[in-house]
């Protein structure tokens, strides 16, 4: 016998909304790493959690070992698996400085870098990529002998497709120079994305999901992915879709495990 309408309505209202608990758990985690890292910028704080000795890193990495069959490890790995499967089932996107990024362990930047000034010399030409006023990026190819420019372009943000589509990139540079400039410019990507499920490392089974990465890379990927989910909430980029909101349940469980390492 089917539930009567009023009973079905009450059942739907009884479902747990993890948005509030997630926000509170992340606030506690944020307060911890702000105090523990003694850093002033949030990006630096997150990098500290991922790469420097600390209680969360020390507590979580063992839980990602395949041979760890403790209750905590099984529970944590299940949450990681659920998070990736639920993110895979949708296409949650966020805007970051005008660039659309998908929130997923399949497309995650675990090693963001700060571009300042990169240069190489090749066959009497200097190739440079550097930050200039306003945070723009200047890309330049000039003779080392007399400074004559073959190419000079300033972009508002890192954008390989736009740079390589410029007529001057093809007409002013030789094929060899284009290859050299591409190599330098690509190496300056401030947010290189990797797929932790297809990253070339030995397979690592985490509950129902097989990753190809190290435990340290997966830990870093979790930090970055959940941080992006937190930002999506704060910036109003999350739709009240049940399949989207469901992703915050395993995210909440993961952050609570982080917090259990520092209690």
Model pLDDT for residues 209-244, shown as the tens digit of each residue: 999 999 999 999 999 999 999 999 998 888 888 899
Q: Provide the H-helix boundaries in the chain.
A: 5-13, 19-37, 42-51, 55-60, 71-89, 160-164, 167-171, 175-187, 215-234, 242-245, 248-260
Quick one: pLDDT band at residue 194, thresholds 50, 70, 90? very high
> How much is the pLDDT for 85?
97
Q: How far apart are CA 143 and CA 181, in angstroms?
A: 14
Nearest-CA neighbor of 191 among 233, 159, 148?
A: 159
Q: What pTM, to 2 d.p., does this model score?
A: 0.85
Q: Looking at the domain covering 117-187, what would its CATH class be?
A: alpha beta
Percent of the chain with pLDDT over 70: 95
For the cut 70, the answer to whether the pLDDT of residue 245 exceeds it is yes
Dihedral sign, CA of 188, 196, 217, 213?
negative
**Domain spans of the chain?**
17-111+193-260, 117-187
For the cut 70, the answer to whether the pLDDT of residue 6 exceeds it is no
């Amino acid at each position: 016998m089917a539930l009567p309408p009023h009973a079905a309505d009450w059942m739907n209202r009884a479902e747990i909304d993890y948005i509030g608990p997630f926000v509170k758990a992340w606030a506690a985690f944020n307060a911890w790493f702000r105090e523990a890292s003694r850093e002033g910028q949030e990006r630096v704080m997150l990098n500290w959690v991922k790469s420097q000795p600390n209680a969360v890193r020390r507590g979580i990495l063992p839980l990602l070992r395949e041979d760890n069959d403790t209750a905590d490890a099984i529970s944590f790995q299940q949450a990681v698996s659920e998070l990736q499967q639920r993110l895979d089932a949708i296409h949650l996107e966020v805007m970051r400085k005008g660039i659309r990024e998908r929130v997923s362990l399949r497309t995650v930047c675990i090693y963001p870098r700060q571009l300042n000034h990169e240069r190489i010399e090749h066959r009497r030409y200097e190739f440079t990529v550097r930050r200039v006023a306003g945070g723009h990026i200047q890309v330049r190819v000039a003779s080392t002998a007399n400074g004559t420019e073959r190419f000079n372009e300033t972009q508002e943000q890192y954008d390989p497709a736009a740079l390589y589509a410029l007529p001057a990139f093809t007409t002013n540079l030789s094929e060899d120079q284009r290859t050299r400039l591409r190599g330098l410019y690509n190496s300056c990507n401030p947010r290189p994305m990797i797929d932790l499920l297809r990253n070339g490392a030995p397979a690592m089974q985490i509950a129902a999901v097989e990753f190809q990465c190290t435990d340290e890379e997966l830990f870093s990927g979790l930090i970055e992915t959940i941080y992006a989910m937190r930002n999506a909430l704060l910036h109003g980029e999350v739709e009240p879709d049940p399949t989207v909101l469901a992703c915050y349940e395993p995210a909440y469980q993961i952050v609570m495990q982080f917090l259990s390492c520092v209690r």
